[in-house]
Amino acid sequence: MTHARQQIREAVVSLLTGLTTTGANVYDTRLYSHNALPSLTVFADAESINNEVSTKTSQMRNLTIRVEARVKGTSGAEDIVDTICAEVDAAIYDDTTLDGRALDTNLEATVIEYSVEQDQPIALAILTFNVEYRVAPGAPTVLL
Amino acid sequence: MGFTEDFGDFFVDEEFGITATFSGSNVVGIFEETFIVVHGIEGLHPVFTCALADVSGAAHGDAITIAGGSYKVVSVQKDGTGIVALVLEDQS
């Protein structure tokens, strides 16, 4: 059985695959550089345990999911990256339980960066989501 | 007596140089596309270096054609010796 974190990360990848702008260019924790654009890359960055609402039989966790959107083009990169952000936002909010794996998922922040260091302008948007989920104490593969 | 550099010896299309078309004229210079990764994206950084006198009116937004590729000038970097590096945006 896989860690709940992996199950959640993979659920996000599944949820975001096939969106209008990024299509199949969706990657799970891609560490190498990208050449198929526009694209989305999903990372599970950090996790904390909320002991205030945990019990002996149920442990509440908050997982930070980072979705990176990459765009490159001669014009309108800023518009395309915003369109991708809207598609990601809508897709996640359409299923905040991530196919039954999470209690809730909320967008917490978006950061956008630009670059003209290459042959065409680049835009990178980083969307940070907080995913609340629950597991059995000592059994992080068992989602409750 | 002032020293006048002949940049024609530096930019020769039979050697490392290449002929570009700028503002309706042929210009010989050196075209480099350095591989670079930016924000996790692979790509190239195209620069055309030539004698400033050959592209004296070069400005941001000007078109230049090199080896059949269309580019737009996005930076004009004069080195103070009569040579200029035109940083380019690929229009393909």
Helix, strand or coil for residue B92? coil
Residue ranges making up the domain that contains A105: 4-139
pLDDT (tens digit per residue) in A37-47 = 999 999 999 99
Residue with structure tokens 């209008």?
A: A20
Q: How many angstroms separate the CA of residue A94 from the nearest CA in chain B?
A: 29
- B51: number of Cβ within 10 Å: 19
What's the CATH number for B7-90? 2.40.10
Residue extents of the structural domains in chain B: 7-90
pLDDT (tens digit per residue) in A2-22 = 999 999 999 999 999 999 999
Number of domains in chain A: 1
pLDDT at residue A79 greater than cutoff 60: yes
Residue A38 lies in a domain: yes
Residue with structure tokens 């997982």?
A: A63
Using CB atoms, pick whichever of A35, A74, A117 lies closest to residue B38. A117
pLDDT (tens digit per residue) in A84-118 = 999 999 999 999 999 999 999 999 999 999 999 99
List CB contacts of B28: < 8 A, sequence separation 6 or more: B11, B12, B13, B17, B18, B19, B20, B50, B54
pLDDT at A1: 81
Q: Angle at the Cα of A135 (from A134 to A140), degrees rounded to 5?
A: 135
Cβ atoms B66, B50 nearer than 8 A: no
A136, two tokens: 């059995």
Would you say the ipTM is above 0.90? no
Residue A144 lies in a domain: no
Cα–Cα distance measured from residue A40 to residue A19, given in angstroms and rounded to the nearest whole number? 10
Using CB atoms, pick whichever of B42, B44, B74 lies closest to residue A116. B74
pLDDT at residue A141 greater than cutoff 60: yes
List CB contacts of A117: < 8 A, sequence separation 6 or more: B36, B38, B45
CATH of the domain at A86: 3.30.70.1700
If you average pLDDT over residues A140-144, what whole number do you get?
Answer: 89
Residues in chain B where the model's pLDDT stays below 70: 1-4, 9
pLDDT at B2: 61
Partners of residue A113 in chain B, C-beta under 8 Å: 39
Report the predicted TM-score, pTM, of the whole model to 2 decimal places: 0.88
Using CB atoms, pick whichever of B44, B72, B91 lies closest to residue A118. B44
Q: Given an 8 Å threshold on Cβ–Cβ distance, is A34 in contact with B42? A: yes
